[in-house]
Each structure stands twice: as structure tokens, then as C-alpha cells.
């Protein structure tokens, strides 16, 4: 595996920090694009932190230019799930403008507390629909190498009005889909970021990569 220049469009929370830490541990160079660079506390010689908004096509184009891969961690919300589709479209268009041919989107809502009830499932449907639409946008892009981590749809439980919430997510890519344990979420994103059209990267997940 060759070292990569990674543009990480993220927030100042745990997921963005864990992704940057893992990428740096693997020897990559990282530019973290966040809304407030002063709140991103991680320091490293191969880390650059700048202010920007990965939801805006102009910022994606500006800050991903010159990088090998752009990684995005903008999950859909219950309040405005449709925004995720617009973000995905801006992500694609901005990366293409910048000449970046490899993008990875982490779109499973880790911050959302899952509940095994019919009421929650019905309220969560718009998030699933937004993820499906975002995935279709990526699938139309024949000139991009991409990966998309998204929610597995809840399954009916044994009791009425009960739904099982999976502890796994899907990683979708042009080659197909695979299931990923949530404890391996960070590693799965970085493994996908290390892929390219010229290189096949074998994934090795560890139990140390846990999100509490």
C-alpha cells in the first residue's frame, strides 16, 4: 500500500478524530476540513486542519484538490434527511471539479440512538430512503472510485411492533456490497480509502477499533 494524501471532511467529534488518528497511524497525510479548526484538538506533523464545509461544493473542490482521496462523514439526520442527498451530490461534483477520482462517504448515523420499535422504524424510514437515493447518485458515476457505508434496514422481530436493529452496516462500492461490524467502522472507512482502481487492498479489522 502506498501512502495517501487524504482530505477528511468531517466534524470535530469522535468519528472525525478517530479517522484522522487511524489514517496518521497508517502513515498517510491528512487534511481535516472542519467548521472550526480551533476545536479539532488532534496534533500531528502529517496533519493539517483548515476551516471549510464539506456540504458545500465550492469547499469540497477547494480543499480536496491535490489529494488522492476525499472522505466525508456527513450522516443523514431525522430532522432533515433529504439534506444528505444534496450533500452527496455536492460531494461528487466538488471532487470531480478538483480532479479527485476516489471518494468515500461514511453515512451511517452513529449519533442516532437506535430503538427496536415500529414507531422508531417508521420515523427512521426517511433516513433509509435518503441513503438509498445517495447511493444511486454514486452508482451513476462511472468515472469515480467510491465507497459508501450506510445503514442496514431494520428487520421485523419476533414480537409484534418490534424491529431488530443490526449491529452492522453495509459498505457499497462498484464491486458490490459487504457487511461490516460497527466496531470496525473506522478501519473499514480507512481500508476503503486506501483502495484505488490500480490497487486491491486487503482489509484487516481489529477488535480495538470500537466506537462507544
Task: State the SS3 of the chain.
Answer: CCCCEEEEECCCCHHHHHHHHHHHHCCCEEEEEECCHHHCCCCCCCEEEEECCCCCHHHHHHHHCCCCEEEECCCCCCCCCCHHHHHHHHHHHHHHHHCCCEEEEECCCCCCCCCCCHHHHHHHHHHHHHHHHHHHHHHCCCCCEEEEEEECCCEECCCCCCEECCCEEEEEECCEEEEEEHHHHHHHHHHHHCCECCECCCCCCCCCCCCC
Top pLDDT among 119 and 178 is at 178
Top pLDDT among 116 and 44 is at 44
Does the pLDDT value for residue 101 go beyond 90? Answer: yes
Does the pLDDT value for residue 84 go beyond 90? Answer: yes
Mean pLDDT of 10-39: 92
174: left (phi over 0), alpha (psi -120 to 50) or beta: alpha
* Banded model confidence at residue 118, pLDDT cuts 50, 70, 90: confident
pLDDT tens readout for residues 151-175: 988 877 777 777 887 888 999 999 8
Q: What is the pLDDT of residue 3?
A: 79
Q: What is the pLDDT of residue 1?
A: 56
Q: What is the pLDDT of residue 178?
A: 94
Mean pLDDT of 18-37: 95
Share of residues in the chain with pLDDT > 90 (%):
65
Q: Identify the structural domains of the chain with CATH numbers, from first to last.
A: 5-193 (3.40.50.720)
Mean pLDDT of the chain: 87
Q: What is the pLDDT of residue 199?
A: 39
Q: What is the pLDDT of residue 160?
A: 75
Share of residues in the chain with pLDDT > 70 (%):
91
pLDDT tens readout for residues 141-156: 988 999 999 998 887 7
* Whole-prediction pTM: 0.87
Amino acid at each position: 500500500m502506498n501512502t495517501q494524501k487524504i482530505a477528511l471532511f468531517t466534524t470535530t467529534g469522535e468519528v472525525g478524530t478517530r479517522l484522522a488518528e487511524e489514517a496518521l497511524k497508517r502513515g498517510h497525510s491528512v487534511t481535516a476540513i472542519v467548521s472550526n479548526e480551533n476545536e479539532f484538538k488532534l496534533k500531528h506533523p502529517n496533519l493539517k486542519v483548515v476551516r471549510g464545509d464539506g456540504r458545500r461544493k465550492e469547499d469540497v473542490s477547494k480543499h480536496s484538490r491535490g489529494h488522492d482521496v476525499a472522505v466525508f462523514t456527513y450522516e443523514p439526520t431525522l430532522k432533515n434527511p433529504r439534506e444528505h442527498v444534496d450533500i452527496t451530490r455536492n460531494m461528487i461534483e466538488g471532487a470531480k471539479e478538483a480532479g479527485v477520482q476516489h471518494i468515500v462517504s461514511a453515512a451511517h448515523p452513529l449519533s442516532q440512538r437506535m430503538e427496536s420499535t415500529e414507531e422508531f422504524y417508521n420515523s427512521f424510514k426517511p433516513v433509509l430512503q435518503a441513503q438509498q437515493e445517495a447511493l444511486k447518485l454514486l452508482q451513476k458515476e462511472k468515472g469515480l472510485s467510491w465507497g459508501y457505508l450506510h445503514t442496514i434496514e431494520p428487520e421485523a422481530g419476533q414480537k409484534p411492533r418490534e424491529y431488530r436493529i443490526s449491529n452492522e452496516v453495509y459498505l457499497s462500492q462498484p464491486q458490490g456490497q459487504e457487511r461490516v461490524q460497527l466496531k470496525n467502522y473506522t478501519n473499514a472507512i480507512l481500508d476503503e480509502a486506501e483502495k484505488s482502481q490500480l490497487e486491491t487492498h486487503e482489509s484487516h479489522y481489529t477488535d480495538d477499533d470500537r466506537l462507544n
